[in-house]
Amino acid sequence: MNHLNYTSTRNSSISVTAAETIVKGISEEGGLFVPSNLGDLPKLTMDDIKALAEKPYHERAFDVLRGLLGFDDNELRSCVGKAYGFNFRTLGVARLVNLNSPCYMLELWHGPTSAFKDMALQILPGLLGVSMKKVGKTRKTLILVATSGDTGKAALEGFKDVDGIEIAVFYPENGVSDAQKMQMATQEGENVHVFAVKGNFDDCQNAVKAVFTNTEVAAKAEQSGVSFSSANSINWGRLCPQIVYYFSAYADLIGKKEIRAGDKVNICVPTGNFGNILAAYYAMEMGLPVEKLICASNTNNILTDFINTGVYDCNREFHTTVSPSMDILISSNLERLLYHLSGNNDNLVRDWFSSLRQNGKFEVDENVKSKISSLIYAGWCDERETSDTIKAVFYEHGYLMDTHTAVAYKVWRDYNKEVNGDKITKTGTKTIIASTANPYKFGEAVYSALCAESVGYRDEYRSAETENEGDAAENKPGGVARSMIMLAEKTGICVPKPLALMNQKPVRFTEVLEKDGIKDAVLKILSP
């Protein structure tokens, strides 16, 4: 089989295999690895896609990933088999739920940590293991992860007690939900390290990126025989497994006779680092019939502005929202899209991103601007609308969404309004909405939304909280457990088992670092 070649967005003379991109994570000069030519991507025919409908998820993953990775078939079979089995709490792995046709929820959160990051991070350890063998690397690996909440937990679950791996996760102290914090603080495994950081997600991400290129750290790592890797969504091994579920959803729509093979669909994604929506773009380039990609942001709406104006401008306030996994101003994977849309122009990409570093902004040319606007519709949803959407959809359709999914749903409605005058017609183009987290992961915000009146909508939650002063603030397990119980009582929807059980586990990690303490924390791990 021909191997797909990969290059760097900032140096297109580079040519590497998928295995090399997975081991390296990021290219030396700071670019991201991408397929060298979109035209070389493996294509799935409509017959291939139809055939997926009859297959279990791990075989769907095999079919989609095969041409992307260049692994031996038995190596890849072993990876997908281990990744997509009983560790997911639903047989289909990525379940598609018809909310009110033409809108379908692609539930990507039935994995061990209840967020969509499991879809990639359950398979990444396998992909990394095979890749290391392929490039002849046997050193111990330290994986560094900056997280806005969900990646950290999913990476910890994926890599816990994996031979030859050590993993350290850094999250913004006040930038994640209580449930997310508890999930990470109670993480099991002998090779895991978890730190809160005084700063926001971008601070964590920048500090971790700086550690990767720090000479003192490099010397120490060399001495200890350790090399670094990343589990962030800049790693191609994180991105490519996400392409699978868009094909899977489309096949399910055919299987359920909701569409005919070949019909176009919209794909609507709540977006932070631009990884999940970029995977949908790659799916499209691999033969998935897509009419429009819908990019949904929260109050940190830098992508909405960029897609609508061509100007990416970080000189703006950072907001902490109820959808914290999208509280991001530097949307890393956008660089990959820009590379492709500019016609593989690494010079342009370098210019744009050096301007971003120096001035906090860049503007793309007319050519790229017009390609983006025909490909993507972008919109955003504020805090109030997020809350209103959760409540309205629950009472109208009996469907409970988390805060991130609600952002996507609201932006889909805006798109629909623009295209169809807000008539919800069953005959319109079907839309797949990426549902990215179980609502219990953001239980407090979801509960507050359901209780919202007009003003002071958090009151019901607050008064319930003060009833039980004893285990407030300091004792998070009580707080998290209580918000889950209250949400369960209100909705009758089950708490996922791992989230329910976490409240009984011992807290193992409580360390809080200053932003500039990340380097020392890494040095400490390197010298046990």
Ligand X SMILES: *Cc1c(COP(=O)(O)O)cnc(C)c1O
Name the residues that contact ligand X, by CB under 6 A: 115-117, 150, 233, 270-276, 325-326, 404, 436-437
Q: Is 101 exposed, middle or buried (0-12, 13-18, 19+ CB in 10 A)?
A: middle
Nearer to ligand X, 191 or 436 (CB): 436
Helix (H) or strand (E) holding 420: helix 403-420
CB-CB neighbours of 50 under 10 Å: 16
The least distance separating ligand X from the CB of residue 444, rounded to whole angstroms, comes to: 15
Nearer to ligand X, 325 or 448 (CB): 325
Nearer to ligand X, 71 or 245 (CB): 245
Q: What is the distance between the alpha carbons of residues 492 and 90, in angstroms, rounded to a whole number?
A: 19
Nearer to ligand X, 44 or 155 (CB): 155
Q: What is the distance between the alpha carbons of residues 27 and 10, in angstroms, rounded to a whole number?
A: 9
Contact between 433 and 409 (Cβ < 8 Å): yes
Instruction: Of 329, 159, 133, 324, give the one whose Cα is nearest residue 231.
Output: 159
Cα distance between the two ends of the chain: 44
Helix (H) or strand (E) holding 9: none
Nearer to ligand X, 174 or 468 (CB): 174
117 is catalytic: yes
Nearer to ligand X, 71 or 201 (CB): 201
- Out of 117, 153, 391, 430, the active site residue is 117
Q: What is the distance between the alpha carbons of residues 402 and 50, in angstroms, rounded to a whole number?
A: 31
The least distance separating ligand X from the CB of residue 349, rounded to whole angstroms, comes to: 19
CB-CB neighbours of 99 under 10 Å: 18
The least distance separating ligand X from the CB of residue 154, rounded to whole angstroms, comes to: 8
Q: What is the DSSP letter of 437?
A: B
The least distance separating ligand X from the CB of residue 204, rounded to whole angstroms, comes to: 14
The least distance separating ligand X from the CB of residue 329, rounded to whole angstroms, comes to: 12
The least distance separating ligand X from the CB of residue 360, rounded to whole angstroms, comes to: 20
Q: What is the distance between the alpha carbons of residues 194 and 185, in angstroms, rounded to a whole number?
A: 7
Q: What is the DSSP letter of 472?
A: S
CA 521 to chain centre: 26
Token pair for residue 182?
A: 């508890």
Bond into 102 cis (ω within 30): yes
Q: What is the distance between the alpha carbons of residues 143 and 168, in angstroms, rounded to a whole number?
A: 6
Active site residues: 117
